[in-house]
Structure formats: C-alpha cells, structure tokens
Structure 1
Amino acid sequence: MRHLVSIRDLTDGDLYSIVARGAAYAAGERGNPLAGRVVGAYFLKTSTRTRTAFTSAALRLGAGVIQYGPQDLQTNTGETSEDTGRVLAGMLDVLVARTAGDPAELRAWAVQDRMSVLNAMSAEEHPTQALTDLTTLLRQFGRIEGLRLLYVGEANNTATALALALTRFPGVELELRTPPGYGLPEQILADATRQAEVSGASVVERHHMSDLPGDLDAIYTTRWQTTGTSKPDPDWRRIFAPFRVEQALWQRSPHAVFLHDLPAHRGEEVTAEVLDGPASIAFAQAENKCYSAMAVLDWCQATAAGTTR
C-alpha cells in the first residue's frame, strides 16, 4: 500500500511520475481509475485549496468522498489513532488528512495494508504542496531540470517539502533567503544538500536579502503566518519585514515568474503589485492543486488496481 506522509516516502521515479501525470491531467487527460473507491477527507485545520483539490480530484477520478471535520472521529473521546486507522482502513481506500500537528498520527494510521494515507499538511511538511509546485513549474517551463528558484520568507512546512523535492532534479539551483531564526530545520537542510550532491542540483540558505542571485526562473514566497501556528517572538514582524517580496526583485530577473501557495496577505509577505502583476502565476498554481491531487490519488491506488504507474 502506498502512503505519502513525507516527500521522503517517494522514490525519484515516484516523484517524477506524479509530477508528469499531474501535468497530463492539467492538459486534459481523463479517466476513472478510482471508480468504486472511497476517499475520506479529514481536516482538523482550515483549508480552501487542498481540501477542495482532493475532493474535486477524487470525484473527477470516479471515487466517492466522505468528509470529516475536527469533531467527527472518536479520537476525541479517547480511541487510539491506531484503532481509528484500522477501522477506517476497513471502509476507505484512501484517507487524506490535515492535522497541522505531529505527523506521528499519520504514521499510526498508515500501519495497515488496506488504506492509503496522504498528508494534506502537518506541522513539519506539506508534501502535496511541493508536488503542486513542481507540476506548476513543469507546465510553465516544460522542464524542472536546470531551473533557478529563489524562495523568500519563513522556511515553513511548504519550504521543507519544496527543498526535499526540488533537490532531486539535476541542475536545479534553489536558494532560500529566510529570516534569522526561521530557517530550514538542520536535518532537512542536510538531507536536501545530500540529495543535491547526488542529483547535481544545489541548495543554499542565507538569512539576509543582500547579494541576491539574478537570472532566476521563479521567485516563491508563502504567508508569514502558517496555518495553525504562532510565533513566540513578539518582534517577529520587524525581523520579517526585509523579506517582503517586492517588484525590485525582478530588476535582475525580469523574466522570472512569481509563485505563492496562498492564501496571500498583500502588503505583508508580498506586495499587491507583485501578486496581481504579470509575473504572478499564483492562481494558476492553485488550480494545479486539483491536477496534482488527481495524480497523487492515481499513484497511491495504482498498485491496488493491479497496475504500476
């Protein structure tokens, strides 16, 4: 049974295949590979794009969908995560879950061989967002290999997944500019660096906005207040202010596109001039969430259908 709790769960072949299939679905490929299957969507935290994307994707692929809210499962009354997973596995083919907390609960649900478990965002990582981002880059440029990308802002769960995914592609140059104290976890940066050494990519993280690279293909940011989190430092906005994405970043990279995982707060992490300007493909990126979700659902259920996509 295939699960996706972290980008680390994917082989290089899995990663390339899911991204390519997401682009194929975006180009109009259709089918009902999930006909007769049932997908559960369990969201403890708010979600506009990811929840809608997976629900729409499941329906487009022929599956039925059961939605669960924060109070709907009896983990609230003391049932263990392991027992809940065993019960759901007898009735669902896939569980898409957003906990925004410790991914250990997702791993507990995945200790069975009947139901795929997909991480729709945990505190540590947002793997399906990275797959959406790569699908967006592939559609925009026709390739991912050799692209040069600048990520600006807090190294949150989106940045973690992006670093783990992009460094699998030969020639990719990923530079992160993150506020002091808000960088990638040490282990994530070490893992991404090792992957880059194997693939021929590069990843660099700096904590200032001086001497920025030029000739970029894409500039990416996320909102400063990640869903379900808060910052212990009361002065954090002053620290983050230099990392706002403004039009000046395009002086040395006039052809770069702008990416944002949304929701956006104009005037905080990005100016309205950038988000709503001609370089922005953020809303096309959001639409790609549906196509990428279709590819993920197809991938995780392919072996159950007797195929090996």
Structure 2
Amino acid sequence: MRHFLKDDDLTRDEQLALIASARRLKADRFARQPLAGPKSVAVIFEKESTRTRMSFQVGIAELGGNPVVVDAKNSHLSRGETIEDTARVLSRYVDAIVIRTFGDDRINALAKASGVPVVNALTDGYHPCQLLADLLTIAEEFGEVAGRTIAYVGDAANNMSHSYLLAGALAGAHVRVAGPSGYRPDPAIVERANVLAAASGGSAVVAADAPAAVDGADVVATDTWVSMGQNDREQRLSDLEDYRLDAALLSRAARHAIVLHCLPAHRGEEITDEVIDGPRSRVFDQAENRLHAQKALLAWLMNPDMESTFPDGAAT
C-alpha cells in the first residue's frame, strides 16, 4: 500500500509514468475504468475548494468509482473526533481517502492509522496533486519537463513553492523560487530538493529576487499572496508588491515561456489580467489537468501494477 502525501513520495520513474498515463487518459477520457466495481473513494474537505472538489469527484466517477465527498463541517471531525479514529472507520468503508486539510501532522496521522491509500489534496506544507497537473501541462507544452527552467515568484514560503521545489527537482527541472524576506521556503525542503536534483540532473535555488528567478525561464508560476486563514492581508500585499507577475516581469522570461497559476487568482495582486488572460497563459489548461493527473494517480495507487491498469502503453 502506498500513500501520496508529498511530491517526493514518488520515484522519478513513477512520476514520469503517471504523467504519461495522465496524457493517455486525457486523450481518451472514458476508455478505461480501473475503479469499476465500483471502488469507493472518500474525499474529505476541511478547507474550501472548487477545482479540487470537482476534479476528484468527476475523475473518480470517470474511472468507474464511487466518490464519497465529505464536508468536514458536517461530520464528527468538526466535533472533535480524532483523525486516527476517522481513518480506522473509513478504511473499513472505502478503498482510498483523499483529504484537503491544514497541518501536515494531520494528514500524516491519518495515513498512519489508515488501512487504505491516502492522498494529499492540499496541506499547509505541500500541494502535490497540483504539481502533477503542472508537470503534465509543462510536458504538453515542451515534450518533457527535464532540463526546463521553472520560476516561481511571490510567497515562496507556501505549499506551492515547496511542491515546485520537490516535484521539479525530482523531474530534472531547474527550479528557482523567489520571495522577499519572511516569504522564503523551508530550508529543509530546499536541502531535500537539492538531493533530488543531484540525482535527476536538475537544480533548486532560492533566487535573490523576482527578476533573477524569471530571467530566461521556460515556465513562470505564481500563487495567491493571501491564502485561507491568513488575516494579515494588507501587510502581505505591501511586502510582496515587487513580486507581482506582470508584463514587465514576464518579459524577462524566454520568448516561448508559459505562465501557470494554481487558482483562484486575485487579479491585480499577484498576477495581472494582461498576463493571466494573455497568449502565454496556460492557467486553464493547468486547471483542467488536475482531473487527468489525479485520475492517473488514483488508478495507480489503487492498482500499483501500472502496466495492468494501462496495458496499451500509457505508462511508458
């Protein structure tokens, strides 16, 4: 049994196979139903969601499974039942658990007590399903991810920055993240990304500023500056002002560069309308790719024999 709690829970070969499988599923969405039976998947939301909720619910159904969507506010989780007890019970009902939650300690406790695979649909520390979708989007654009330079600018202390460092380094990309003082990634994650990069031929650096990160990059990404539960909005907007992804900053990237944003976007704050709606934006392709990447992930976690799940070559 495997869990997917953070980006480097995969090997590089597994990451490549999942991206390949996602491309095959995207090309023919209804060709395979490896969760037919159906297998049931609990999808728990302790944080609000649009894309995560829809992409998992639709994706599980398209795989032939039964999505059981749980709003934590309407469950006993909101009344203090432990995450471990929840895991032990759900493991007797369903074949996998997906959760969008807060601290990583919470999902780690869930996974430790669970008898079925657990998937991180977002925690405070990581957003690994989003990065599978982002790598799929980059692979569609450039053929492969390895060797490409990915720049992430803005709040680099958040889950997206951490996942770009880990997933990008695992894929053999050159990842640069940039944020002002107080908004820089966990040094332990940068260190882990460098270990992964040493094996893959990639790199992972914390750039001096936004222009240094973006110069010559193939991919430029950002994320909202004010996430759920953060109450220091005005201070954050002031601190991050120089990291806005606008036309001037994007002009420093390669001419063929694409723009990514995991959404929802606060237009005019971390990204301008001109950029998110411009010809280099792949933001809505990226959003769609959550569906296809997560379908590939669930199919594999619930049937680790990738060649059996996708016998027509999707894993190659």
Q: Distance in 2 between matches of 1:304 and 1:217?
A: 34
Residue type of the partner of 2:247? Q
Q: Distance in 2 between matches of 1:119 and 1:21?
A: 19
1:244 to 2:212 alignment: no
Contact 2:262 2:287 in 1 (8 A): yes
Q: Distance in 1 between matches of 2:142 and 2:247?
A: 22
Cα deviation, residue 212, structure 1: 5.1
Residue type of the partner of 2:73? Q
Give the TM-score normalised by structure 2. Answer: 0.90
Cα deviation, residue 211, structure 1: 4.3
Cα deviation, residue 14, structure 1: 1.9
- 1:1-309 to structure 2, matched below 5 A, reads 1-28=1-28, 30-35=31-36, 36-99=38-101, 101-112=102-113, 114-155=115-156, 156-170=158-172, 172-211=173-212, 213-231=214-232, 235-252=235-252, 253-303=254-304, 307=308
Q: How many residues of Structure 1 are paired with residues of Structure 2 in the alignment?
A: 306
Q: Report Cα offsets for 1:138-190 as digits up to 9, x if no partner.
A: 111111111111111112101111110110133x2211121211011111111
Distance 1:91 1:140, change over 3 A: same
Distance 1:120 1:78, change over 3 A: same
Contact 1:126 1:157 in 2 (8 A): yes
Contact 2:45 2:70 in 1 (8 A): yes
Distance 1:105 1:250, change over 3 A: closer
Alpha carbon RMSD of aligned pairs, Å? 2.1
SS in 1 for 2:217: coil
More deviation, 111-120/294-303 = 111-120
Distance 1:306 1:215, change over 3 A: closer
Q: Which structure 2 segments of 5+ residues have no match?
A: 310-314
Residue type of the partner of 2:303? A
Contact 2:300 2:306 in 1 (8 A): no
Give percent identity, aligned residues only.
Answer: 34
Residue type of the partner of 1:258? V
SS in 1 for 2:176: strand
Distance 1:226 1:293, change over 3 A: same
Cα deviation, residue 114, structure 1: 3.6
Q: Which structure 1 segments of 5+ residues have no match?
A: none
Q: Distance in 1 between matches of 2:230 and 2:296?
A: 29
Contact 2:84 2:113 in 1 (8 A): no
Cα deviation, residue 210, structure 1: 4.5
